[in-house]
Homo-oligomer: A and B are copies of this chain.
Amino acid sequence: MTELEKGPQGRRRGRGARERILGASRQLFRDQGINRTGMDQLCAVAQVSKRTAYQHFASKDELVTEYLRRFDPGTMSAVFDRPDLAPRERLLAAFELPASGTQELTPMCPYIAAAVELHDPRHPASQYARDYKQAIAARLADTAREAGATHPEQLGEQLALLLDGAAARTRVMNTESFPTAAAIAAVLIDNAIPATTGDEDRSR
């Protein structure tokens, strides 16, 4: 009993420090925000010593950047790479709530949150947020083109703006706003895709 019983089961928390840190980041940055989450608390939740954390990430800023980089766990693919859906339906699927079993609100888009909290457009995390958002808009534009939209780039940018609007408004109003965005998206999509040849019901 010199210095044993470190972990909950007596087992050491061990090797996966980096992943545990990033996991705790995802949880705490979402629940409390970046600025209100101290490194001490973060390390406690991750069950990692502070020293270890700073051996993996030179600074909190670097951790925040990596946190953003590691965020999209196939979220983009899950929406865009669905061969079961027609392009038009894929565009609409981007506005569907993920697993809205409970009455929880869609969590604030972490990219917008980071941009607002860090408040410096030159911060690496802010730059990455910009890149990511641009990639999303490009993906939307590609799908719009696939769907036969007349101005796919424009539609992509419009839909991206709707997604950001829904995220921001959900946060500020404390009310789910994605359905509203989805309704707008439907209008825009139908307006942007010219009356197709033998397509299904477009009258509604």
Contacts and interface: CB of A to CB of B under 8 A. Distances in A.
For this complex, into which size category does the number of interface residues on chain A fall? 35 or more
Given A108-B116, A164-B165, A164-B169, 5 more contacts: A115-B172, A116-B116, A116-B117, A158-B180, A167-B168
A91 interface: no
A80 interface: no
Nearest to A161: B165
A183 B172 CA distance: 24
A171 B168 CA distance: 11
Interface of A: 32-33, 35-36, 108, 111-113, 115-117, 119, 121, 126, 129-130, 133-134, 154, 157-158, 160-169, 171-174, 177, 180-181, 183-184, 187-188, 191
Contacts of A35: 35, 117
Nearest to A114: B172
A29 to B, nearest CB: 10
Q: What are the 10 A-B residue pairs with the smallest beta carbon separation, nearest first?
A: A165-B165, A168-B168, A33-B119, A115-B172, A116-B116, A164-B169, A161-B165, A164-B168, A164-B165, A121-B174
A contact patch SS: helix
Contacts of A162: 161-162, 165, 184
Contacts of A184: 158, 161-162, 184, 188
Contacts of A113: 116
A49 B204 CA distance: 63
A143 B147 CA distance: 35
A177 B111 CA distance: 16
